Each structure stands twice: as C-alpha cells, then as structure tokens.
A and B are shown apart, each in its own frame.
Chain A
Amino acid sequence: MADEDDQQQSAANQAVEEPLDLIRLSLDERVYVKMRNERELRGRLHAYDQHLNMVLGEVEETVTAVEIDEETYEEIYKQTKRTIPMLFVRGDGVILVSPPLRAG
C-alpha cells in the first residue's frame, strides 16, 4: 500500500497537466523570478503554492531604478543588488518564474 502511494506520488510529481506543474520541475533548482516594481530575484526554489507564494534560498535581489540625467536627459538605470539567505515571497508581486536553464 505504501509502495502504491509512493508510486502514485512520484507519478504525480512527474505529470505536467497545468502550468504550475512546470514550476514543480524547478523545485530545488535556481530560478529567476521577475517581480513588480522592477525587482528581480535569483535563488533556489524551496517551495511554492498556487498563489505563487514562494520560499527562495540564497536569493540575490536586483532592484532597477531609472534616473534622468539633469543635463542630457538620458535615462540612467541604477541597479542595486543584495543577497538574502532565506526569503518568503508573497505571490501577488510575482510576474514570471523562469526555470534554471534560462536563469543567467
């Protein structure tokens, strides 16, 4: 019975039937998460749920701010980076989640 359950579990872990199943394939891998307010996260995906709340480990957050040069009116992109060891991310701020291969 336990074996059957395990088999069902592992088969269920492999099945891709809905978009969120694709994220499960990235569990325990490094992922790229684009967030609202020009924020980007790169980190190890420990857990997620249907709201795209996520738990990321060894996260590098990049915040991009645009400044206008006063003289030339050129747009200057200022990036600030920081690392956070373990982070819970609320799902409503998430725009996209990208699997490890494309996470540069």
Chain B
Amino acid sequence: MAASGQEKFYAQNTLVVLLIAMENERIKVETKNESLIQGKLMNCDGYGNLTLSKATVTNSCGKTLRTDELHVKASSVRYVHLPNKVNPIEAIQQQFAKSKRINTPKMPPKYKKTVQS
C-alpha cells in the first residue's frame, strides 16, 4: 500500500483513526443518498474511504442489495454507527499504539508560548 504523505497525516491526525480501528468489525454506514449499508469493515484508508465485505445496501425505497465486496467513497458517508461495545477513546488510543508514528506531531508552538507566559 503506497499511502501519500497527506493520507498518512489524515490517518494519524483526524478521527479517521477511529474508523481504521473499527477494521474487522461489523458496522452500519449511512450515506448521503439516504442508503443504509451494513457489512464488515475490511479496510479504511487515510481519507476515510471504506471497503466492506458481505455488505447489504438498503436504499431509501427499502430495496436491498447484497454484495460480497463494496467500496464506499468517503465523501458519500454521512454517519457510521459504531458497535455498542466500543469505547471510542480507548479504540483511538489502541490504534495509535498500533500504528508506527513516523512523524510524531509536536505540540503547536502557540501552546508552548502560552505555557511559558
């Protein structure tokens, strides 16, 4: 996987990290076209594009479609329902611990300034 620098940055600095932590869990995704997608999250990239397996798509009319594999474009996502058992903060911290952080973000200089004064 050749992730760009920007993608890695998003993966490490935005809440996308939580979606990445949800890999191999069954999730529900609501899209902006009012569809509900249920499936197992196989992969989530740094932008939040999702790959689901064994997915069921229910559109706004109630029509359903089952597919073995489904890619959801990040920008079409409205909500992701997380499994009940998940503690989001713990999941994020565990994900951070897992991923090798090459560029450890430094505290922004403005905060350092505030502390000194």
Contact = CB atoms under 8 A, between A and B. Distances in A.
Contacts of A87: 79-82
B111 A46 contact: no
A86 B14 contact: no
Given A85-B84, A90-B78, A47 B111 contact: no
Contact of A90 (B77, B81, B88): B77
Interface string B5-25: 000000001111011000000
Given A47-B92, A49-B14, A88 B19 contact: yes
Contact of B15 (A11, A17, A55, A92): A55
Interface residues of B, number: 28
Contacts of B84: 85-86
A96 B19 CA distance: 23
B111 to A, nearest CB: 4
A90 B107 contact: no
Interface string A1-38: 00000011001100101000000000000000000010
B112 interface: yes
B88 A12 contact: no
A92 B77 CA distance: 9
B4 interface: no
Contacts of A89: 78-79
Contacts of A92: 75
Given A50-B14, A87-B81, A55 B88 contact: yes
A57 B82 CA distance: 10
18 contacts: A11-B114, A12-B107, A15-B111, A15-B114, A17-B110, A47-B89, A48-B15, A49-B15, A50-B14, A51-B14, A55-B18, A86-B82, A87-B81, A88-B18, A89-B79, A90-B74, A90-B78, A90-B80
